[in-house]
A and B are shown apart, each in its own frame.
Chain A
Amino acid sequence: MSSKSRSKRKPDQFDFVDKGVNDSDSSESEESVYSGLEEEPDTSEEDQEQSSNQSDNDSSDNDDDEDITLDDKSGLELSTEQRKELSTASDDELNEINDQRYTGNVKSQNRKQQKQITVKTADRPDEYDYDSSDEEDIRNTVGNIPLEWYREYPHIGYDIEGNRLLKPEKGDQLDEFLNKMDNPNYWRTVTNKMTGQNVVLSKEDLGLIQNLQSSKHPDSMAENYQSSKHPDSMAENYQPWIDFFTHEKMIHPVTNHPQHKRSFIPSKWEKLKVGQMVHALKMGWMKPTKAKTEEEEEENFYMLWKEDEESEITRRYRAHLPAPKMPLPSHAESYNPPPEYLLTKEEEEKWQNMEPEERRMNFLPQKYPSLRLVPAYKRFINERFERCLDLYLCPRKPKIRMNINPEDLIPKLPKPRDLQPFPTAQAIVYRGHSDIVRTISVDPTGQWLVSGSDDGSVRFWEVSTGRCMKSITMETGSLGNMCIRSVAWNPHPDVSLVAIAMGQTVILVNPGLGDKMVTNNTDNVLHSFSPTEEESMGKKVYADWSSIDTSDKRFENGFRLLLQHPKEVSQVTWHGRGDYFASVMPKGDSMSVLIHQLSRRRSQNPFNKSKGMVQCVLFHPVRPFLFVATQRYVRVYNLLKQELSKKLMTNCKWVSSMAVHSGGDNIIIGSYDCRLSWFDLDVSTKPYQTLRHHKRAVRAVNYHRKYPLFASASDDGTVIVCHGMVYNDLLKNPLIVPVKILKGHAISHDLGVLDCVFHPSQPWVFSCGADTTIRLFT
């Protein structure tokens, strides 16, 4: 609370009331209070009392925890009494009354009131006569400390000179009691803790306390005046308001000075200045500032979050790039290097003759017996300079290192053992051939296996036991080439025929195995064929069909039909329905692919132009498409429309083999450059996935008809089985997981496994190789 505000207000002292106030006592003792006060002014130690009172007031301002309890009823009575009194008295009278009434112990208040009154009269006493500030009046200088600390001592603190303030003598309980009984002011007597003095509260103090307690204006006078609508009441409590500078516009000036003369005369210097500027404008020295266009004004954006940005300097500190470190000195730079680091004479000469830039080391290693003998370093300045050059050219750019876990880059593939069944172990070895087994094929029921070998024999095997049931040795042809290049079992279950490509001929053999009915039917159908002359007349004959007579010795072996080709046949393949088959003559140029129809014994040449050396052909399993693999491309022809429908870019150097998925939308291609490429025909003409698991040329690839498996055979002697799941959902890519490497074939003449075929119904794979064996992996 500032002294100024305090001076404006009525004194706001409120002092402690003894806790032991008695209700019944208070009402009775009202009259006696006044009489007692008037008649028996307590004059003892007036000054000290005053000061203590003052300090008491001050301390009470801060001291909120003092419990002030005053009975409501007594307080009310008191206030009404006051009102009565006050309503009758005028201001001055009241002051006088007050002066008279509060003689000793509340002298300070009187003074203040006097002060207030004197504001009006402008008869100011010396301001510094009485110091009203809070702190300076404290007699006890111990400060704001808990006074319990002085409980043990006879004094209660120190005055400003450092003398002890002795505690006033306190009587014992009996004195207390007597005091309580005798002293009519006992109930309004409190102890100032700072001084230990007893203070008798004035009536005004009591009223103040009561007003505070009943949430009224602390100054009971103000309230009373308000209630009585006394005209001068406000002047009593508040200073009158003088509105010097008002917001209202006044017509008269505040000051009364007359205007100066110069305010009526135009300025000479201004005129000069303007003249200069006009001249400058005329001369073109000065140009009028352009009026801002609207656009410019509109572009007055500002960065809303600019405060968030790091300032340039802090950013530079934070992203501090340390200069690259100097390499640590090596052994050769030691003053006493091991002898092997020292250069020999020749080396030293060579070093000397070299250009400084070419030298591996820019110093000569030198040996000193002790550190004392090491001379000053001659190259120090050079080195520092070079370092500076290095740093000058050093790119100060942070290296952003990508923290990528290598394992995250590997696609998540299921574990092979979750993808069973697939062939895992070799089960049966089919032995009997005496030379490279080039080609194998399984009959559609899965009971028989046919194999063609370089020894000129075709063997038929029982799959389950490995028994060779039949062996057909080809007679030496006109060319003397007995290699069986390709065998293919007719996929139709009601036809028992095997196509064998040997030299320039394709032989259709009825193996006579399996159901006898089927065998006989096949023979009967072949026998009952009668050629229709008209058709064969006009057209060019591409292949020469000839049937084997029943009397022929070869008929016994199962030979039924011979197709003589103009060039060597490398592959035969059946259409899924078993009526058509295609033969490949890689050197046949425009006739490299021939399609033969069994039922009409007719051959067609679907292509009249050679597109390259044909490696292999395949029929689409369901649609009339023909896949033709040349060295680098696979072309898909629509046989009905007779047009090229797709051309697959294999990205490999030399296609060796090809297989089509039973659904017909996916094909795999093996190549001599060790690759296996999976094509999704619906998606792209580029490989969907390329597997490079084989170490040497891939010789054959094959799909399983039922299980999601495909296999590739390679010259490295292994067959790799992969899980290749094709989903019906077109959006889902095929899942390709390599599951097993099947080893078993020995490599001979740099040839490993030459063909691999899946069992039609079981997850088994057959492979044949250059080691003359056929192996079954289950």
Chain B
Amino acid sequence: MMADENTPHVQAKFFTKQSQYSIPDTPYSVPAAVGTSELSSLINQILKGSDDSVDAGIEFDFLLDGEFLRVPLDKHLENRGVSSEDIVEIEFVERQPAPKPEDSLLHDDWVSCLQGCKECILSGSYDNTVRIWTTTGAPLLTIPGHSAPVKCVKWLSGDGGPTCRFISGSHDQTILIWEWHREENSVECVHACRGHAGSVDCIAINEERDKFVSGSWDKMLKLWSAAAVAEGDQEEQLEAPTKKQKISKKVQTRVPVLTLSGHTEGISAAEWLSRSEVCTASWDHTLRLWDMEKATQTSQMQGTKVFLDMSYSLLNRQIVTASADRHLRLWDPRTTDGAIVKCTYTSHNGWVSSVSWSPVNQYLFISGSYDTVMKLWDTRSPKAPLYNMSGHEEKILAVDWSIPSLLLSGAADNHLKVFQYNDEKHGT
């Protein structure tokens, strides 16, 4: 319709799940070599014709059979083995807006781990401290306490109350449970969880927020109570040398409720899948599922590379893993047979150190890599990420997407970068 008559055309039918952009269900003849931008302007024209109120110039993305159109249409059809004679049904969605770099929080040392929670960001660093920041970038607290680099931090409860609790695990083989009084802006260590014989590399808190598991380099998975008071707690003086803030309170030592062995190498990531099920990723190339109530390993998924991180989405019940190669892999823990790696996402140029699902959109996740780039992925676009977020000068060690509007990344250049991501239009 736009190009001359000689070029091959494809009959295409457009539909959308976004009601504000719905258009009539009539097939259009489009040139076969059309790209996304042309299709987008076509949709805009149609929308303008039907309704003047819709402002033109909206960028759309196009999905064919659940995969984004990233190459000209005819090539896409050729790659997928679809005949260009038939009417092609193309779904269009409004293009994901680009994340905007918002803030960069400077640390004293490498940022090894971070998590956001409502208005606060928690970050752990190689200078043995845990820091609390506001989402706007103001430093709230710097908490010394560990005697070795902090490897993982997790909010235990951060939902607006006067006291927030969080957990940090470190190379010094301890996990500390902290209480943060928001008004006073003071923090105290309430529990020191001791038992690991290696650096604590990951912590996962269950949905009820009364238990958490920790994985360590000593190959053990330990289950701890996250309650304020638990059996077996012992009084202990925290021996950490503190300069900025004196913690003189008595600290209770907590011992693990359960210790599970099975991995043959260090555990790098853990996630709760349900009330009782935990999935762990390890350097021994396996993902293992554990039943915490029965205290057994239920199943095992064999990979081929060292797992460095993993993320589980409650929305689509799938796992995405980051490996010591260039790939991200999508797993479905519910399948027991066949190809358990459902998809492989390849775009990074270095080890993928961390990965995190979107809390609101079941298709989106972010990944950070040693190639200093954070990438925003859509599961429907395995060939290319949606956006690359560069800015770091050193390898990214941690990414987080706990706050739906913020993409966080911490890197070895001492910076924690905050990217604004406006995803409200989509919802889920």
Contacts and interface: CB of A to CB of B under 8 A. Distances in A.
Interface of A: 421, 425, 427-428, 445-447, 464-467, 469, 514-517, 761-762, 778
Given A467-B412, A515-B173, A447 B266 contact: yes
Contacts of B350: 427
B103 interface: no
6 pairs of A and B residues whose beta carbons are closest in the complex? A515-B197, A427-B351, A778-B324, A447-B217, A516-B173, A761-B265
Contacts of A515: 173, 197-198, 218
Contacts of B126: 467
Contacts of B110: 465, 467
Contacts of A517: 197
B291 interface: no
Nearest to A513: B171
Given A425-B326, A427-B324, A515-B197, 13 more contacts: A428-B370, A446-B283, A447-B217, A447-B266, A465-B412, A467-B126, A467-B412, A469-B149, A516-B172, A516-B173, A761-B283, A762-B324, A778-B324
A447 B149 CA distance: 14
Contacts of B198: 445, 447, 514-515
Interface in B315-371: 324-326, 350-351, 353, 370
Contacts of A447: 198-199, 217, 266
A465 B306 contact: no
A469 B283 CA distance: 20
A425 to B, nearest CB: 8
Nearest to B112: A465
Interface string B26-55: 000000000000000000000000000000
B292 interface: no
12 contacts: A445-B217, A446-B283, A447-B198, A465-B110, A467-B412, A515-B173, A515-B197, A516-B173, A517-B197, A761-B265, A761-B284, A762-B283
A307 B232 CA distance: 108
A517 B397 CA distance: 28
A514 to B, nearest CB: 7
B304 A421 contact: yes
B149 A467 contact: yes
A445 B199 CA distance: 12
Given A428-B370, A514-B198, A465 B397 contact: yes
Contacts of B266: 447
A421 B149 CA distance: 32
B217 A778 contact: no
Q: Is the interface of B mostly helix, strand, loop or mixed?
A: loop
Interface string B387-428: 000000001010000000000000010000000000000000
B333 to A, nearest CB: 24
B61 to A, nearest CB: 32
A720 B233 CA distance: 54
B173 A778 contact: no
Contacts of A514: 198
Contacts of A778: 306, 324-325, 351
A762 B306 contact: yes
B192 interface: no
A428 B326 CA distance: 13
Nearest to B110: A467
B308 interface: yes
Interface string B163-178: 0000000001100000
A731 B199 CA distance: 45
Contacts of B325: 778
Contact of A428 (B112, B149, B351): B351
A428 to B, nearest CB: 7
A604 to B, nearest CB: 35
A224 B248 CA distance: 156
A763 to B, nearest CB: 10
Nearest to A762: B306
Contacts of A761: 265, 283-284
A85 B265 CA distance: 129
B354 to A, nearest CB: 11
Contacts of B217: 445, 447
Nearest to A517: B197
A739 B200 CA distance: 36
B395 A465 contact: yes
Nearest to B201: A464
Contacts of A464: 308
Contacts of A428: 351, 370, 395
A127 B350 CA distance: 124
A421 B323 CA distance: 14
A494 to B, nearest CB: 11
Contacts of A446: 265, 283
A761 B284 CA distance: 9
A416 to B, nearest CB: 16
A427 B370 contact: yes
Interface string B125-167: 0100000000000000000000001000000000000000000
A605 to B, nearest CB: 39
A514 B218 CA distance: 9
A517 B197 CA distance: 8
A466 B149 CA distance: 13
A464 B126 CA distance: 14
A446 to B, nearest CB: 8
A464 B151 CA distance: 12
A445 B353 CA distance: 20
Given A427-B350, A515-B198, A466 B173 contact: no
Contacts of B283: 446, 761-762
Nearest to A428: B370
Contact of A466 (B112, B308, B324, B395): B395
Contacts of B370: 427-428
A446 B197 CA distance: 15
Interface string B91-104: 00000000000000
A516 B173 CA distance: 8
A403 B395 CA distance: 57
A166 to B, nearest CB: 91
